[in-house]
């Protein structure tokens, strides 16, 4: 299967019928009236990157496909400052080709491919990754620690607020229900919101709304969580505004990266303060998303 993929990738760029093919009589003639194509990206989930493409395991001490960051230490992936060590170790084509430890997968050893050919999955990285932890943690803070009644009564009130927000803003994709504590509180580990990617994506603005309404005192941590939720909304608004575009046009182009870095830094700080046992909880989806 991989050999077939390699063959097709090369064929699309050359755009001529190859010798010894089933269409050998047309060998050397143009394949598509002179049009050519290139292999744009490899798209898949994290398991695919490891098991098929042979990229670094996302649960290992060196978990990233795009750089040489580490799980912890001075080169940790969770440092999002401009001076972070991993920023100096992001792969380029030349260093990737020279690295003896690179994958042996033939798809990533073509003259025009490398680890940089991997397209990271936004859906699994944000909506089914870090956002599940962010929103689950926010709901836990509100219902268990901040709001005055018992957790279930607090959640019922929050769900009523979310439903009202949905109705007022004509939200496209909605949770059918979010009125059970087990939707985000687990027997062990950090809170994690259950849901489909579309439901979680369209929860960004309602979450900011309920946090503003119920967060209580404007402490440093509460204000940082508000900033975190605002940044999440800003990212979603950009994606919605430019949903038909291949790239963010200038001057918008640099903004998403700035938002991602701020989002990541704020999230790590908030989690470390509110849930000390949960440091690094966002794991590999979070890492890979913010290196993209």
Query: How far is it, in rounded angstroms, from Cα 140 to Cα 154?
Result: 10
Mean pLDDT, the chain, integer: 79
Judged against a pLDDT cut of 90, whether residue 24 lies above it is answered with no
Q: Is residue 255 part of a domain?
A: yes
249 belongs to a structural domain? yes
Higher pLDDT: 24 or 231? It is: 231
**Residue 253 belongs to what H/E stretch?**
none
**Digit-coded pLDDT (tens) for 238-272:** 888 888 887 777 766 555 555 555 555 555 555 54
- Which stretches does DSSP call E strand in the chain? 42-43, 118-119
pLDDT of the residue at 278:
35
- Average pLDDT for 205-209: 97
**pLDDT at residue number 280:** 34
Q: Supply 138's token pair.
A: 């926010």
The residue among 29 and 161 whose pLDDT is bigger is 161
CA atoms within 13 A on the CB side of 255: 15
Domain that holds residue 146: 122-291
CB 2, CB 113: distance < 8 Å: no
pLDDT for 78-117, tens place per residue? 887 788 899 899 999 999 999 998 999 888 888 888 888 8
135 lies in some domain: yes
Side-chain-side CA neighbours of 158 within 13 Å: the count stands at: 35
SS3 71: coil
Q: What is the mean pLDDT of residues 159-168?
A: 97
Residue 35, judged by CB atoms within 10 A of its CB (0-12, 13-18, 19+), counts as exposed
* Residue 34 CB burial class (10 angstroms; 0-12, 13-18, ≥19): exposed
Tell whether 68 is covered by a domain.
no
With respect to residue 284, please indicate whether it lies within any of the assigned structural domains. yes
Q: What is the 3-state secondary structure (H, E, C) of 169-233?
A: HCCCCCCCCCCCHHHCCCCCCCCCCCCCHHHHHCCHHHHHHHHHHHCCCCCHHHHHHHHHHHHHH
Instruction: Note whether residue 195 is domain-resident.
Output: yes
Whether 234 is in a domain gets the answer yes
Give 100: exposed, middle or buried? Use CB within 10 Å, 0-12, 13-18, 19+: exposed
* The predicted structure's pLDDT at residue 70: 92
In a domain, 106, yes or no: no
* DSSP β-bridge partners for residue 76: 70
Determine the Cα–Cα distance for residues 178 and 33; give it in Å rounded to an integer.
Answer: 55
H or E, element range at 125: none
Q: How many domains does the chain have?
A: 1
């Amino acid at each position: 299967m991989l050999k077939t993929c390699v063959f097709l990738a090369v064929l699309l760029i050359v755009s001529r019928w190859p010798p010894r093919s089933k269409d050998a009589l047309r060998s050397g003639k143009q394949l598509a009236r002179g049009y050519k194509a290139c292999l744009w990206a490899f798209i898949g989930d994290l398991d695919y990157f490891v098991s098929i493409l042979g990229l670094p395991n996302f649960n290992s001490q060196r978990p990233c496909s795009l750089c040489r960051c580490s799980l912890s230490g001075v080169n940790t992936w969770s440092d999002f400052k401009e001076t972070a060590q991993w920023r100096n170790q992001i792969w380029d084509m030349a260093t990737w080709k020279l690295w003896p430890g690179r994958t042996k997968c033939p798809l990533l050893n073509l003259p025009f491919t490398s680890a940089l050919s991997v397209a990271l999955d936004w859906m699994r990285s944000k909506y089914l990754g870090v956002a599940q932890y962010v929103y689950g943690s926010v709901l836990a803070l509100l219902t268990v620690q901040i709001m005055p009644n018992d957790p279930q009564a607090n959640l019922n009130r929050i769900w009523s607020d979310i439903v009202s927000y949905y109705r007022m803003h004509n939200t496209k994709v909605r949770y059918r229900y979010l009125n059970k504590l087990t939707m985000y509180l687990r027997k062990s580990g950090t809170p994690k919101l259950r849901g489909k990617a579309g439901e979680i994506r369209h929860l960004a603005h309602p979450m900011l709304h309920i946090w503003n309404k119920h967060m209580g005192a404007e402490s440093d941590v509460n204000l940082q969580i508000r900033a975190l939720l605002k940044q999440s909304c800003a990212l979603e608004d950009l994606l919605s505004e430019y949903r038909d575009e291949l790239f963010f046009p200038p001057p918008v182009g640099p903004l998403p990266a700035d938002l991602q870095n701020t989002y990541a830094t704020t999230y790590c700080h908030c989690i470390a303060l509110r849930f000390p046992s949960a440091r690094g909880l966002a794991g590999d989806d979070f890492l890979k998303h913010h290196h993209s």
